[in-house]
Amino acid sequence: MPIRLTIDGHPIDATLNTGATSRDLVTLLPLTLDLEDFHQTERIAYPPRKLDTSDAPEAATPKAGDLAYFAPWGNLALFYRDGPHSPGLVILGHLDHDEDTERLATAERVTVEARS
């Protein structure tokens, strides 16, 4: 599913995969969240409720540009650097253009919405 992230006023296109967790995120859209840095690798934010992870793999290794959900804490993660293999991490999708990844490093606010 195509989505648009608006990060500090700049639109960035991304595509979600078809898993249950991604589909559940879509039910919350549009969604605007404040972001904070985590381990100088990702920007994180908390959606209004936990997402369905019923068909998700037990762990994932994120790459820069990945959009993910960390089930144990219930947070979304926007990776601007490659991250470690993490139990409970579900990759939701990826930015459509890798050159947009650098914008994530300093992002303070994101709006996520469906894109046609």
Residue 95: give its domain's CATH number: 2.40.100.20
Distances in Å between the Cα of 77 and the Cα atoms of 41, 62, 110, 116 are 10, 10, 11, 23
If one counts the domains in the chain, the total is: 1
Q: Which domain holds residue 69?
A: 2-114
The tens digit of pLDDT for each residue in 2-45 reads 999 999 999 999 999 999 999 999 999 999 999 999 999 999 99
58-91 per-position pLDDT tens digit: 999 999 999 999 999 999 999 999 999 999 999 9
Where are any strands of DSSP class E within 1-116?
2-7, 10-16, 31-34, 36-38, 42-45, 59-60, 66-70, 75-79, 86-87, 89-95, 109-114
The rounded distance, in Å, linking the Cα atoms of 55 and 14 is: 21
pTM, whole model, 2 decimals? 0.96
